Structure 1
């Protein structure tokens, strides 16, 4: 069994930056909440007070997200958390989604009630407040999105995983400097050879021979694409091998390594996602409310306001359900990425070994844990198989159990 000393800090790459952005939004919503409640009390506007109380629910949701960020960061090294604190964001996102679903139900209930028992609408106060709420939500969304980015290496995504290849190799040949790369942008993976100084390369005199760790080799021939050469044959996965580029009589050797990252849900920060859903949902409802109020005022359609409320509650409920489903799956340790689980098994079994048990789950944004049990007739230890999985960069905690079948007969 191998579970070498590893770091148990499984926080997202933008954890501290996301925490700061969340606190900025809390201060904005808090200031607007106080201004609306105080202003409503001073000027006798119950609608303004109501919107201030509504703003308090968002401030509470953002406070939950900010506290989850802070707690996860402060207790990241706490040994009581066997697999770190990376899931605090998912727990906060799950809780926030439950609150969002309850808000959707309350809106739907109030809207249906008003559909059958209409109440007079004070358009002069309601429309400006709805516009103010929309403005606050747009600013909040901008603050939450500020600086959010994903690092992309050289390479392109396949399915649910992201591949990072080593940078393009520049080689000196008898024909001058040429660039050898793996190209897979919208086409099957292939080699491309580009002359650096405008020289003309002969497709018939150019080949690439790959040699993989398991000893298999393959020769790739080229065709002229005008300005560069492209291999006729598709490069099979994985893209990790030694490549011998032959240009005329000259041969150059390079090594291609591939690093694979889990994409999609495995990298998603559900704490920030929940905060953004609160903002976007309220902004969408604000747009619907403004449109409904304007139509109701222009044409006397008093039923438009509650109808918009029903539609808005449905939108919020849909987003809340998606967030509950995704965060709930993470909290229950469902397999984070089936495609990556299959690739892990293929990597282990490439030389005839057998995976008897495999568990893959999310530890935090961008971090996966894996426990793998395998049977082999060889003498390899856990370190050998750990090295085979090194290209899976999202694997932050790996435990490998090796059962040597020959030991049964000794």
Structure 2
């Protein structure tokens, strides 16, 4: 049995912070100041003008300021202690812990707003609409500005995952060809298409790998393109030569695994901060609608009803954040696609993966423990680390080799 405790990349450290860590930290401090000022104005205005929904919005903003402070302190602590050896796998998951805590705070906010709204439904009070509505509108503007500051003009949603490599363009005298590796729910195969309608009936593809291994792939018609009959073994790192009308057109494939940009890449600390501000923006919209309807039709119950609906929205967002951050803190597999791809890469040459542990170390960083059984006595841990080097998110890999 051979063991290897070193990671994929030699000379590594244990800094597993997100790529935009310091920028997110700065923006969080900016938003804290903005939310703090608006919080005081909304609470004072709601109490002075009799709007429970406006007071609820202000209280919600006050808890946002506290949650944002938690996020900022988590960023600061994680950055200052990133090299602290007391943290076996760095401080990258501190943001997930802060996000989980923020989600609990969101749930408590939802309960508080819901309680206050039900109380005001039972006992309506007079509202001074002329003063309350402008303050609620100002609160919405502040929330929109806060979201823009936190996001920095970028979205933070997951990206769609494409189960094939990008298409490679090949220019020939007869027309353009597009070659890709396709593996959407099927074993990987070549797909070749011609936008100009070039006949591909006599085309073959031959791959040459870095060790000199060659393989010929025959193509058949499939849904407006041609597809290889033979499947492509892992890893997808080779030169594919397209043979067409007596000419050869080489295409180089340098595979880098395209992991899904889901929980493996999310900065949940920043996500929690944005969710707090988005929740407040949603409540602000409902407050404005409730106040306008109450003023127009005399429906005083619309104001607390707006608060009740806002509580439901906040509770739903809180649940999603608790679910995702809790899974990371419990070291659940963060990306099933990556786990399956790692398994395929290791077992492509006939070896057997006896154990695999995959967990998140921080935004964009995964740790892995891989145990392999092989009959090839010359195969050591370095071989499997090279196989896994095409997974950019695998930042800390331990390999154990069992020789049968």
Pairing of 1:121-270 with structure 2 (within 5 A): 121-148=127-154, 157-158=161-162, 168=168, 175=173, 181-182=179-180, 190-192=190-192, 203-210=200-207, 217-221=215-219, 230-233=225-228, 236=231, 239-263=236-260, 264-270=262-268
Q: Deviations over 1:155-196 (max 9, x none)?
A: x8236xxx665x83657x7x489665327699997544669x
Pairing of 1:8-19 with structure 2 (within 5 A): 8-19=14-25
Contact 1:190/1:230 (<8 A) preserved: no
- State the TM-score, normalizing by the size of structure 1: 0.82
How many pairs are equivalent? Answer: 389
Q: Deviations over 1:235-277 (max 9, x none)?
A: 8565444312213223344431221143212111111110111
Contact 2:74/2:94 (<8 A) preserved: yes
Contact 1:108/1:313 (<8 A) preserved: yes
Contact 1:261/1:394 (<8 A) preserved: no
Alpha-carbon distance in 1 for matches of 2:298, 2:316: 30
Contact 1:51/1:129 (<8 A) preserved: no
Q: Secondary structure at the match of 1:10?
A: coil
Which residue of 2 is the match for residue 115 of structure 1? 121
Which residue of 2 is the match for residue 275 of structure 1? 273
Q: Secondary structure at the match of 1:262?
A: coil
Q: Deviations over 1:363-406 (max 9, x none)?
A: 1111111001121111200111111112211111100111111x
Of 1, 18, 26, which aligns to 1:20? Answer: 26
Please state how far the C-alpha of 1:134 moved relative to its aligned partner: 0.7
Which residue of 2 is the match for residue 387 of structure 1? 386
Shift in CA distance, 180/248, structure 1 to aligned 2, threshold 3 Å: same
The structure with higher relative contact order (CA 8 Å, sep 6+) is: 2
Of 63, 68, 73, which aligns to 2:69? Answer: 63
Q: Secondary structure at the match of 1:362?
A: strand
Shift in CA distance, 350/186, structure 1 to aligned 2, threshold 3 Å: closer
Alpha-carbon distance in 1 for matches of 2:361, 2:148: 28
Q: Deviations over 1:330-387 (max 9, x none)?
A: 0111111122212211221122211111110011111111001121111200111111
Q: Secondary structure at the match of 1:265?
A: coil
Which residue of 2 is the match for residue 2 of structure 1? 4
Alpha-carbon distance in 1 for matches of 2:89, 2:155: 26
Alpha-carbon distance in 2 for matches of 1:187, 1:261: 15
Q: Structure 2: which 5+ residue stretches go unaligned?
A: none
Shift in CA distance, 383/295, structure 1 to aligned 2, threshold 3 Å: same
Alpha-carbon distance in 1 for matches of 2:150, 2:296: 36
Contact 1:211/1:218 (<8 A) preserved: no
- Give the stretch that moved more between structures: 285-294 or 13-22: 13-22
Which residue of 2 is the match for residue 408 of structure 1? none
Alpha-carbon distance in 2 for matches of 1:193, 1:50: 59
Please state how far the C-alpha of 1:142 moved relative to its aligned partner: 1.3
Please state how far the C-alpha of 1:6 moved relative to its aligned partner: 2.4
